[in-house]
Amino acid sequence: MTTMPLSLILIGSAPELQRTLLDWKQLGAINLIGVWDPHSPDAISCESLTPSAEQPVDLILVANKEREYLDKISDFQQERTLVIDFHTFWILELLVEKTLDLQALSKSEQLFQTISKYSHEGIQFVDAQGIVQYVNPSFSRITNVSPEERIGKSIFDVSPNGALAQVLKTRAPVIGWKSTSHGSNVETISNAAPITVEGEFRGAVTTFQDITEIKHLSMELQQRDLEISSLHDHLRQVHIPRYTFQDIIGESKSIQRTIEIAKKAARTRSTVLITGESGTGKELFAHAIHASSSFHQKPFVAVNCAAIPASLLESELFGYEKGAFTHATKQKIGKIELANEGTLFLDEVGDMSPQLQAKLLRVLQSKEFERVGGLATIKVNVRIIAATNHNLQQLVEEGAFREDLYYRLHVIRLETPPLRDRIEDLPALVQALMERIGSRLGLSPMALTNKGTGLLSDYHWPGNIRELENVLERLMNESTSSVIPDSLVRMHMNKLLGTLSASHAAGQAALSGTDILPLRVMEREQINRALSKYGTSLAGKKKAANSLGISIATLYNKIKEYRLQEG
Ligand SMILES: Nc1ncnc2c1ncn2[C@@H]1O[C@H](COP(=O)(O)OP(=O)(O)OP(=O)(O)O)[C@@H](O)[C@H]1O
């Protein structure tokens, strides 16, 4: 309800009084018609005022008691005009101030009501005794408790473990208090603070949010994170075939025959077994077969069975379920599953444990398996290409490799010929490999002379094309001209031949004059070379075993057998 401001005339003046009246006028509490005081230069003139109904005068305030002023009252007084003196005025002032205070209070209360009504957060207020005084609509929406059910109750009865009870007990603010609403079973997070007015504790207020949705969203986010990281894992393990048949260099009969069989193999999904010495291109052929198969756009997944410890190989191949073992905090998809619809390349398959051989056999026979710790049978359609530089047939005879698995793998057999048996391919290989190395290292084109190429052809390349690649890389790095000097080639070949001739001499001595090198001497020599090249640290031995085409376990056995000096 709005009321008209009081119309007031001041007769006589006091500066303080006039100031107060002007303040009130500004606040809209009074309508100051004028000040009559012939002795004050600041007085607002009322001379022109004549009593009239249009200009009602509610109040005449007489500030001076002299006759001259008192006589003036009747000039302005109307029927309903109240005449008051200075003392009464101050009582009136007190009343006006209170009214103004109340108006301000009412404004802030309206503001608070609006804020709390539309606040998304629940708000609850208790007095100093813990009796609930107020709850907002969001309180009821979140907790499912109506204001009638809550207001007037002791917080210690209705929410003894909530943030408000805590603040009442400690008189200190509480931030991020988690609890569950009994009414709706909804999880909430609250902030609460004591209310103190002029040093006196008056109660406490809490604001809180429903975090069920937030928790739900955060769990969904975690789930998505897991899915993304497992997709990243998958991507890292699935390879695009790096080579095609065009990358296989060689015009010799032996390599052309192998390429021919491999191209036929690429037209089917049959299992392929590739055998051959280390560094002869078994992996290269596996890539090329996949790349020219009808499913070349499907994954190509490679696993080196000798490079992964036997204890880990099973979960690497078959995957595992969450909780299958101590560190299995999330499900992992194995390589076989990753290769579904594509190709799984099992390098060094001869190094697989008997237990895994049995599991692999099942994949080959019935195209199904279970993840480690899993019950569900997973069906896959995978082409398997296996490779080994062991004599698998001999391993079968020795009982180290399952015969049934050997025959399952042996559907199509490829034999990659050693470089020494196709040395006529060396010039073309040198040229192609130098281009490949040059672009990898960012070097400008380089070449060997015919003589230099001839020097390379004199060597019998026990490490095959990988060894040739390594020698060429060293020559390219060391040469200061684009045509590699023959002297540099000779120096490198002498180094290689020197190592061999030492063993040759030993072999010759052992064989009393024959020029045939005993295999054991050759083997010991090669292991020795690999160890001095890669070092005897675990990483070095792994590389040495890899370049020798044997498992790390076999390498350790050989070191022991030949009593090779480590370090
Ligand atoms: N015919 C070839 N033409 C061109 N490069 C070849 C050829 N054969 C092998 N290479 C290259 O020689 C290196 C060794 O080849 P790859 O790794 O395929 O041999 P591997 O027989 O699988 O060896 P390991 O048995 O030690 O695993 C690779 O860089 C490969 O590209």
Please give the distance, rounded to the nearest whole angstrom, from the Cα atom of residue 349 to the centre of ligand 1: 17
Q: β-strands 174-180, 30-36: how paired?
A: unpaired
- Indicate whether 287 and 337 sit together in one domain: yes
485 conformational bin, left if phi > 0, alpha if psi -120 to 50, beta if neither: beta
pLDDT score for 39:
80
Residues with CB under 6 A from ligand 1: 247-250, 276, 278-284, 347, 389, 416, 429, 432, 465-466, 469, 549
- Indicate whether 322 and 255 sit together in one domain: yes
- Indicate whether 311 and 383 sit together in one domain: yes
219 in a structural domain: no
- Indicate whether 87 and 158 sit together in one domain: no
Alpha-carbon distance of 552 to 404, in angstroms, equals 26
Strand order in the sheet with 412-416: 300-304, 343-347, 383-388, 272-276, 412-416
pLDDT score for 384:
96
- Indicate whether 51 and 195 sit together in one domain: no
Alpha-carbon distance of 391 to 163, in angstroms, equals 75
pLDDT score for 370:
92
pLDDT score for 514:
47
- Indicate whether 95 and 34 sit together in one domain: yes
- Indicate whether 45 and 139 sit together in one domain: no
- Indicate whether 84 and 142 sit together in one domain: no
Alpha-carbon distance of 56 to 356, in angstroms, equals 110
361 in a structural domain: yes
Of 101, 136, 157, the last residue of a domain is 101
Please give the distance, rounded to the nearest whole angstrom, from the Cα atom of residue 256 to the centre of ligand 1: 15
User: CA 436, 439, 444, 449: dihedral to nearest 10 degrees?
Assistant: 0
Q: Name, in order, each residue with C-beta under 8 angstroms of 168's C-beta and a sequence gap of 6 or more.
A: 126, 128, 130, 155, 156, 204
Please give the distance, rounded to the nearest whole angstrom, from the Cα atom of residue 310 to the centre of ligand 1: 25
H/E element, 546? helix 538-548
Please give the distance, rounded to the nearest whole angstrom, from the Cα atom of residue 467 to the centre of ligand 1: 10
Please give the distance, rounded to the nearest whole angstrom, from the Cα atom of residue 285 to the centre of ligand 1: 8
Looking up residue 124, the CATH number of its domain turns out to be 3.30.450.20
b (16+ CB within 10 A) / e for 524-551: bbbbbbbbeebeeeeeebbbbbbbbbbb
Pair 282, 387: CB distance under 8 Å: yes
Residue of 421, 465, 550, 554 with the most ligand 1 atoms within 8 Å of its CB, for mutation: 465
DSSP character string of 130-149: -BEEEE-HHHHHHH---HHH
Of 54, 73, 101, the last residue of a domain is 101
Ligand 1: atom nearest CA of 287 is: 18
Alpha-carbon distance of 58 to 44, in angstroms, equals 18
How many domains is the chain partitioned into structurally? 3
Q: Where are the alpha helices (DSSP H) in 206-245?
A: 212-237
Range of the domain at 41: 6-101
Q: Name, in order, each residue with C-beta under 8 angstroms of 450's C-beta and a sequence gap of 6 or more.
A: none
Looking up residue 388, the CATH number of its domain turns out to be 3.40.50.300
Please give the distance, rounded to the nearest whole angstrom, from the Cα atom of residue 135 to the centre of ligand 1: 77
pLDDT score for 50:
57
- Indicate whether 337 and 405 sit together in one domain: yes
Alpha-carbon distance of 546 to 470, in angstroms, equals 14
401 in a structural domain: yes
Pair 42, 13: CB distance under 8 Å: yes
492 in a structural domain: no
Alpha-carbon distance of 303 to 31, in angstroms, equals 96
Q: Is the ipTM of this complex over 0.90?
A: yes
Q: β-strands 483-484, 447-448: how paired?
A: parallel
The crossing angle, in degrees rounded to 10, of helices 426-441 and 464-478 is 60
Instruction: Report which protein residue has its CA nearest ligand 1's atom 26.
Output: 278
337 in a structural domain: yes
Asked whether the CA dihedral 533, 536, 540, 541 is positive or negative, the reply is positive
State residue 78 phi and psi, 5-degree precision.
Answer: -110, 180
- Indicate whether 91 and 123 sit together in one domain: no
- Indicate whether 141 and 199 sit together in one domain: yes
- Indicate whether 245 and 371 sit together in one domain: yes
157 in a structural domain: yes
Q: Report which of 479, 488, 477 is spatially closest to residue 442, judged by C-alpha positions.
A: 477
Ligand 1: atom nearest CA of 276 is: 21
Instruction: Report which protein residue has its CA nearest ligand 1's atom 13.
Output: 466
434 in a structural domain: no
Residue of 278, 283, 471, 472 with the most ligand 1 atoms within 8 Å of its CB, for mutation: 283
Instruction: Report which protein residue has its CA nearest ligand 1's atom 25.
Output: 278
- Give whole-number Cα distances, 283 to 286, 302, 357, 389, 507, in Å: 5, 9, 21, 12, 33
pLDDT score for 508:
45
* 3-state SS, residue 103: helix
Please give the distance, rounded to the nearest whole angstrom, from the Cα atom of residue 384 to the centre of ligand 1: 19
Ligand 1: atom nearest CA of 416 is: 21
Note down pLDDT in tens along the chain; length 567 residues. 456 788 888 888 777 887 888 888 887 878 888 888 878 766 555 555 555 657 788 889 998 888 988 988 888 888 889 999 888 888 877 887 788 788 888 888 888 888 888 888 999 999 999 999 999 999 999 988 999 999 999 999 998 988 999 999 999 999 999 888 777 778 889 999 999 988 899 999 999 988 887 788 888 888 888 777 777 766 666 667 678 999 999 999 999 999 999 999 999 999 999 999 999 999 999 999 999 999 998 999 999 998 888 888 999 999 998 887 877 778 888 999 999 999 999 999 999 998 999 999 999 999 999 999 888 999 999 999 999 988 898 999 989 899 999 999 999 999 999 999 999 999 999 999 999 999 999 988 899 999 999 999 988 898 999 999 999 999 999 999 999 999 999 998 888 776 655 555 454 444 444 455 667 777 878 888 888 788 888 888 899 998 898 888 888 888 877 767 543
Alpha-carbon distance of 512 to 522, in angstroms, equals 16
Of 101, 130, 161, the last residue of a domain is 101
H/E element, 88? helix 86-118
515 in a structural domain: no
